[in-house]
Amino acid sequence: MKIMNIGLTALQDIGSNYYMRLNDKEVLVVQEDELRNSQLTDAQKLDKKIQEESEDKKVKEPASTDELSTDEERLVRDLASRDTEVRAHEAAHQAAGGGMVGATSYTYQQGPDGKMYAIGGEVPISMKAGSTPEETIANARQIATAAMAAGNPSPQDFAVASSARVMEMKAQQQVARELQEELLGQKTYANEANQTQNSLNQIDIPA
């Protein structure tokens, strides 16, 4: 219930939901008429609710840049600069990642001006091995390139690139083993063929 003192010049502003009375000190006051409020139509209640929400919204609206303090203006500039840096960083990962990266996600902070600024970002990179050692090597190299694509790589970027190089090294070792086995197989086959030929040369065919 709202009670407020008013002067005679304010009487014309009294709405239909209020009534006037004299309090114990014989001061003219205006008081909200709860009985009348309870009898409002649905349309009137809706209109009153919209008006109250509109007033609340006005109170909660962010301050314009003209109303910010010096410290707040400095913070807004810092947040805007960070937002630009973060978006450029993640865009570089996206551009270099090809099919090895997923959608970018951002962490936001609201500034004194009411705007949301990106202060952190993340691009998921898939450490996917290929169906062959050669394909795995190609994937690893693209992952490392994507991780180090930004101008100022983060510690996490270095960690991803390092993991990709380990993956590439293991795939190269697999290629070397397969090549060695192939060469060994060829050498074994040649030795066996020579032994067979020598055995044939030693066979006496009766006349």
- What single DSSP character describes residue 20? E
| Average pLDDT, integer, range 181-206 | 65
Kindly give the residue spans of alpha helices, DSSP state H, lying in the chain: 34-38, 42-60, 70-97, 133-147, 155-201
Query: For residue 160, how many other CB atoms are within 10 A of its CB?
Result: 21
**Bigger pLDDT: 200 vs 181:** 181
Is it the case that residue 7 has pLDDT exceeding 70?
Answer: no
**Bigger pLDDT: 158 vs 43:** 158
| Average pLDDT, integer, range 157-164 | 93
Could you tell me if 78 and 86 are in contact, meaning their C-beta atoms sit under 8 angstroms apart? no
pLDDT value at residue 2: 44
pLDDT value at residue 198: 58
- What single DSSP character describes residue 56? H
- What single DSSP character describes residue 9? G
In one letter, which amino acid is 144? A
What pTM was estimated for this model as a whole?
0.55
Share of the chain above pLDDT 70, in %: 58
pLDDT digits (tens, 9 = 90+) for 48-107: 666 766 655 544 455 555 688 899 999 999 999 999 999 999 999 999 998 889 999 999
Distance CA 44, CA 151 (A): 60
User: Nearest 5 degrees, angle CA 133-CA 134-CA 135?
Assistant: 90
